[in-house]
Structure 1
Amino acid sequence: MDLRQLETLVAVAETRSFAGAARIVNLTASAVSQQIQALEAEVGVSLFDRRTRPPRLNAQGEEMVRAARQMVQTMTETRRTITGGRTSGVLNFGAIRTVSLWLAPLAFAAMRAQFPALSFDLRVGVSEALMADVSAGRLDAAVVAEHVGVPAGLIWTPVVTEPLLLVAPPGAEGQDARALLAEYPFIRYETDVPLSRQIETELSRIGVRRREIAVSNTMPSIVGCVQAGLGVAVVPKLATLNLPTGSLQILPFGQEPITRRIGLVQREVSARSKVLGAMRDTLAATAGEYGLV
């Protein structure tokens, strides 16, 4: 067996399809199938139940995936160590959307002084998918939200705590967030992520009957809808950074201050530990400049 086969097996396990794995490892679906068949021939057992569509991992396949993840991680870290990639080369970094707008780019720029030989490859996604990429070795680390399960072999370190805010158009009139929610149409964040669930839980708790006018799966479009005067929305503070003065009304959200924590997830053993420690500190310091804890 070779490393490419093991990486392909891990991708199939994570996407639960050969077609999904093909997109991750940059192969055709038929090439993925051929690699899996070659791996099965090498180990001498079938790893999938092909009576189902798509084929599902059997017990032997699940055990093989666990071993494959460890071997891929070990080889990835070894390659970086012996090639001096710990403080140079490309840092494959993931971030949730709100972090990717300003915080991550500003941190990258600040890191250049300390690590001039380092370049950055930023992948934007949802927390669960980013953690899977870190676990599989496709990313060195990622900034993800709290309230998601951290797989074995990974560690999550908090970086920033930010408040959730109610944003309204500049001309909206209302004494507080509750009054604005009752008066104006609501723009909902629809993505199935911890932030969306946190917003919905608090809206249910305060018991305001809201009139939904639009849904969107990105924070920039949510903010854009509010700026255009379509209605009001609940967003994290990171989504409001660097907006033109006066383009939004911004109020606290929730009966008590509602916050979310975001943190850096990385593998427990990483040849990038020095760089990632500096990245964590830089992210926190950069957030602090905008009044975030």
Structure 2
Amino acid sequence: MELRLLATFEKVAEVLSFTRAAAELGYAQSSVTGQIRTLETSLGTELFERLGGRIRLTEAGERLLPYARRMAELAEEARAAVAAGEPAGTITIGTMESLTTYRLPPLLEYVHHRHPAVRLALRPTLGDATRQALRQGTYDLGFLMEAGTEHEGLESEVLAPEPLALIASPGHPLAGREGLVTADLAGGGLIGTEPGCAYRDLFEAELAGAAAGGPGSAPGPDFLEFGTIEASKRAVASGLGIALLPRIAVQEELASGALVALDWEAPFTLFTQLAWRRGKRLPAHVRLFVEQARRLARE
């Protein structure tokens, strides 16, 4: 089996579209279709079911996919082992808005300027989706912000604890009150990012537990969902409610007085982590990125 054919198969299996795979690989669609047919002929079996305008992997395709990924990783490792000079290659990274915008710029800038042959492809996803993409091999690395640090099928490294801040506008009724407890917060108006975000989900569970006298024993409270951190900050500044966000995302507004931190401490701790598939051999350019992430986390 040719590595070129396996690479094309892996891309089609990832995006489940011949058209999109051709665009991402820089091939004509007819070339991608021809390569898949050549691979199927050499193996004596169909790898994709054609369902009108959609495709999906056959059982044979599902069995081949992990081997195709392992062979691609071995080929990359072999190239890195004999190549001299500057590390090169693409790193597909799953991350989330708060980290991409506020935590990662120094790391991204360092790699971009010091190692221009390393291409970074950032994919915005939340924790569950990032973990699934890592297990499937769609992502090379993933940044997580979670309370748990053990993830099935993944290696993970804690880079740093991620402080949180419960924020409000200076004129909010809770601003300036001391010794707030969770039960005090429900009537303050709640602003949230989308469900699936670890700090939003943990905050919601804490509020529900306080309302019913025990963690998780009542339906979650109602949030006004603004999706992004920037939209949530604007909503809070406008007096629409309070929001729990990573402190790094609001430190400028807290310093300027546009927002205030309420006197409430989250009863949970989140950790920013870097993860990859367990057993995956990290090629040189990916190892370089991991080492720089560790170094910057220590500074």
Q: When the two structures are superposed, what TM-score results if normalisation uses the length of structure 2? A: 0.74
Equivalent residues, number: 281
Asked if 2 retains the 8 angstrom alpha-carbon contact of 1:165 and 1:252, the reply is no
- The answer for the alignment partner of 2:259 in structure 1 is 248
The 3-state SS of whatever aligns with 1:102 is helix
**5-14 or 104-113: bigger deviation:** 104-113
Percent identity between matched residues is 25
Partner deviation per Cα, 1:128-149 (whole Å, 9 max, x = no partner) = 5555666677765332234598
- The answer for the alignment partner of 1:185 in structure 2 is 189
Instruction: Tell me which of 198, 218, 231 is aligned to 2:202.
Output: 198
- The CA deviation at 1:65 is 0.4
Report matched runs for 1:24-35 at 5 Å. 24-25=24-25, 32-35=32-35
Query: Residues of 2 paired with 1:7 and 1:53: CA distance?
Result: 22
- The answer for the alignment partner of 1:217 in structure 2 is 227
Asked if 1 retains the 8 angstrom alpha-carbon contact of 2:159 and 2:274, the reply is yes
Query: Residues of 2 paired with 1:48 and 1:89: CA distance?
Result: 32
**224-233 or 44-53: bigger deviation:** 44-53
Inter-CA distance 228–129: structure 2 relative to 1 (3 Å threshold) = same
- The CA deviation at 1:251 is 3.1
The CA RMSD measured in Å over matched residues stands at 3.7
- The CA deviation at 1:205 is 1.9
Partner deviation per Cα, 1:211-233 (whole Å, 9 max, x = no partner) = 54x32222222122212333211
Structure 1 unaligned blocks of 5 or more: 287-293
Query: Residues of 2 paired with 1:64 and 1:148: CA distance?
Result: 31
Query: Residues of 2 paired with 1:19 and 1:196: CA distance?
Result: 37
Asked if 1 retains the 8 angstrom alpha-carbon contact of 2:80 and 2:283, the reply is yes
Asked if 1 retains the 8 angstrom alpha-carbon contact of 2:166 and 2:242, the reply is yes
- The answer for the alignment partner of 1:43 in structure 2 is 43
- The CA deviation at 1:236 is 2.4
Query: Residues of 2 paired with 1:27 and 1:225: CA distance?
Result: 45
Query: Residues of 2 paired with 1:31 and 1:53: CA distance?
Result: 18
Larger radius of gyration: 2
Structure 2 unaligned blocks of 5 or more: 213-219
Partner deviation per Cα, 1:267-290 (whole Å, 9 max, x = no partner) = 54223365245323224224xxxx
Query: Residues of 2 paired with 1:173 and 1:69: CA distance?
Result: 55
Report matched runs for 1:260-279 at 5 Å. 260-266=270-276, 268-272=280-284, 275-279=288-292
- The answer for the alignment partner of 1:170 in structure 2 is 170
- The answer for the alignment partner of 1:62 in structure 2 is 62
- The CA deviation at 1:110 is 6.0
